[in-house]
Structure 1
Amino acid sequence: MKTEAREKGYFNVPLWEQAFRCAELVGVPALAFYLLSQGGFAAFVGFVVLGLHYPRTAYLGHDLAHNQWGPRDDAKPRFMLRAVALLQGFGSHWWVEKHELHHAFPNACKKSEDGILTPIDGDIDSVPWIVWDKSLVEYNELAATSPWKAKLFLTMRRLQVLLFFPLLSMARFNWSWQSIETAFRVNKSLEGALCVAHWVIGLTLAGFLTPGPVWTGWLWFAATQLLGGFILAFVFVLNHTGMEIYDATEAKGFYDRQARSTRNTPSSLFFDWLTGGLNSQIEHHMFPTMARRNLSKMRDATRKAMLECGYAYEELGNREAMQAVLGALTDAAKA
């Protein structure tokens, strides 16, 4: 299948698309800040434009880190990753290692000597904010190193369904902070400085361009971060949350690990655009270097091959997928 897809050019990101992504990366924020300067309804439109743009920029960083524009250490991808760090606020060094581990072992855990499931996939570990599955309750309880932390963790878990959507909105702040902390810790000072500059420049421009008091521009900029973070986190949780959390030693190889814990959601021109093609998450896990606009073209062949080989191939509507997510969170909250 990979050979056929390569012959069809599905792994190629043509130069026209690369040029478009570059123009989008710079042009959309410029438009959003211009609309802010006009005030009123135009500023609201600018808020929506920039909020929608942040996930789009994250998808571009995702493409680059997956070597879809060539090896990420080559000059062009390296330059683009720095541009994304500035215009997105995320850095690749925080993201790449944990994301590649996620691709190898989605939703996977190892068992400690006490028999407690410990996440291999860091994307299912959000201590103390969210316990993603009831099988991880013991692991999260052990992370509480003092009585007050134990009370905090328990309270957060009990309220996590109620707080879930507000917490999704805060995702960009958390990811950006982790990017900055990681970059400086691993001596990638330029990357860290670019991530910091995202906030400094954004707040400065928003405060300067807003026709109202400075604080209204700052509020506008913060609101775009909340909207962008919510959309991006919403897209991500539908892909794996509410699926099996398993002991990696019990899985039967790479394809079994993907089938156990990865789902697709509906494909359409709108959904493919909004999710950056990651609604075809199964195909992305099977072919991570494939250009994301081609992932949906592989759905039928991938489904057929996986079912013929005895693997699961889960496809749910967005509502059903979110119900599965909230069901898992509810079970963990009650555990």
Structure 2
Amino acid sequence: MTGVPVAPVTTRGSDFADLARQIKQAGLLQRRIGYYVARIGANVVLLAAGAVAFVILGDTWWQLLTAAYVAIVLTQFAFIGHDAGHHQILRTRRGNAIIGYAHGAFTGISYGWWIGKHTRHHANPNQEDADPDIDIPALAFSEEQAVAKQGFLRWIAKYQALLFLPLLMTQAIMLKAAGIEALMRKQVKAAAVEAALLVGHLAVYTTAVFLVLSPAQAVLFIVVHHAVMGVYLGLSFAPNHKGMPILPAGQKVDFLRRQVLTSRNITGGRWVDFLLGGLNYQIEHHLFPNMPRPNLRRAQPLVQAFCHQRAVSYTQCSIAASYAWVLRHLHTVGAPLRARS
């Protein structure tokens, strides 16, 4: 494990401009269309293989394995949607949006709603009252949030480290529900078009499941699919910021330090790159959100060296250590509630 989280400080804002020049000179902001064509093509083939297996297996409990498989593949689709949302794939906003909406239709998650939420997160990572990713009813990320909980949510916060994995099982359903709610309230762009795409997704998905499987198998297929997808999504995003410094509401910090000090990288090689969809380079991604995913690996040593030169704490650890870090933080945050029991 390297890097120790430190309290963020306000300093000059020219450091990021210096780093950005290095990154641009290295050509790391250039599009990687060939990579994305191959990645999207591979995902489509994997999903098609799952569909074929689903039809061939038919009415059997072995389909629960298919449900888990489809969940994993569709999470890879979600990673592509994430990259499209950051304009990493194509040069034009429209082209990236088309890819994003298409992938949202496959996953069943509103692309338009997610873009708004994720943009707020990138602008204010780990900032109280500004980052939606640390404003989650069922979890507390600071002692202040924990003691403010009431009723059942307070009990959950008390034991949130133990309940973290079960809570992640609901993540996919919660994301879909939040997106549907935003669409119904017309809080996203192209709401009518996206609503049609998501209705189409729901119609095809439920028809296929209940047509091929018995009612009991169909219901359990849906549960397993969404539980696995929720855990996969949660375990991909949780290591990135949870347990890192939380900035008080209104605190002014320059862009480079705001992004670096609140983020954590995950080491482990190319298998981790694939498993986490490039989100393991969270520091580089937050500094340069439109950098194509395959370029993040090349940017990492440049950013780390730059941060070392500027005495900016750069945090990275293994995937196992990151999960332990998150659980320790959640356990510590819930301590005041347990002490009052």
2:67 aligned with 1:47: yes
- Partner AA of 1:268 in structure 2: G
**Corresponding residue SS for 1:16:** helix
Write out per-residue CA displacement over residues 278-310 of structure 1, whole angstroms, 9 at most, x where no aligned residue: 101001011110011221111111111012112
Do 1:64 and 1:72's aligned partners in 2 also have CA atoms closer than 8 Å? no
How many angstroms apart in 1 are the aligned matches of 2:70 and 2:241? 27
Please state how far the C-alpha of 1:216 moved relative to its aligned partner: 1.2
Counterpart in the other structure of 2:133:
123
Pick closer, same or farther for the CA change 1:43–1:307 going to 2, 3 Å. Answer: same
Pick closer, same or farther for the CA change 1:71–1:292 going to 2, 3 Å. Answer: same
How many angstroms apart in 1 are the aligned matches of 2:195 and 2:143? 35
Do 2:267 and 2:317's aligned partners in 1 also have CA atoms closer than 8 Å? yes
Question: Which residue of 37, 47, 62 maps to 2:82?
Answer: 62
Do 1:264 and 1:279's aligned partners in 2 also have CA atoms closer than 8 Å? yes
Counterpart in the other structure of 1:113:
none
Counterpart in the other structure of 1:173:
173
Counterpart in the other structure of 1:135:
144
Do 1:207 and 1:215's aligned partners in 2 also have CA atoms closer than 8 Å? no
Counterpart in the other structure of 2:227:
226
Do 2:158 and 2:334's aligned partners in 1 also have CA atoms closer than 8 Å? yes
Do 2:273 and 2:279's aligned partners in 1 also have CA atoms closer than 8 Å? yes
| Mapping of residues 192-203 of structure 1, within 5 Å | 192-203=195-206
2:329 aligned with 1:333: no
2:307 aligned with 1:306: yes
Question: Which residue of 117, 120, 123 maps to 1:104?
Answer: 123
**Corresponding residue SS for 1:227:** helix
**Corresponding residue SS for 1:252:** coil
Pick closer, same or farther for the CA change 1:61–1:270 going to 2, 3 Å. Answer: same
Aligned residues between the structures = 313
Please list every run of 5 or more consecutive structure 1 residues that lacks an aligned counterpart in the other structure. 110-118, 142-149
Pick closer, same or farther for the CA change 1:3–1:253 going to 2, 3 Å. Answer: closer
Counterpart in the other structure of 1:163:
163
How many angstroms apart in 1 are the aligned matches of 2:264 and 2:142? 16
2:18 aligned with 1:18: no
How many angstroms apart in 2 are the aligned matches of 1:6 and 1:29? 36
- Partner AA of 2:109 in structure 1: F
Do 1:35 and 1:45's aligned partners in 2 also have CA atoms closer than 8 Å? no
2:293 aligned with 1:269: no
- Normalised to the residue count of structure 1, the TM-score between the two structures is 0.85
Counterpart in the other structure of 1:83:
102
Please state how far the C-alpha of 1:276 moved relative to its aligned partner: 0.6
Do 1:36 and 1:42's aligned partners in 2 also have CA atoms closer than 8 Å? no
**Corresponding residue SS for 2:334:** helix
Counterpart in the other structure of 2:8:
none
Q: Taking CA–CA contacts closer than 8 Å with sequence separation of 6 or more, which of the two structures ends up with the larger relative contact order?
A: 2
- Partner AA of 2:102 in structure 1: A
How many angstroms apart in 1 are the aligned matches of 2:26 and 2:260? 25
Please state how far the C-alpha of 1:176 moved relative to its aligned partner: 0.8
How many angstroms apart in 2 are the aligned matches of 1:248 and 1:284? 23
Write out per-residue CA displacement over residues 65-115 of structure 1, whole angstroms, 9 at most, x where no aligned residue: 1011346641x2232222112101112221122212211221012xxxxxx
- Partner AA of 2:185 in structure 1: R
Please state how far the C-alpha of 1:44 moved relative to its aligned partner: 5.1
| Mapping of residues 26-45 of structure 1, within 5 Å | 26-39=44-57, 43=63, 45=65
Pick closer, same or farther for the CA change 1:12–1:48 going to 2, 3 Å. Answer: farther
Pick closer, same or farther for the CA change 1:304–1:22 going to 2, 3 Å. Answer: closer
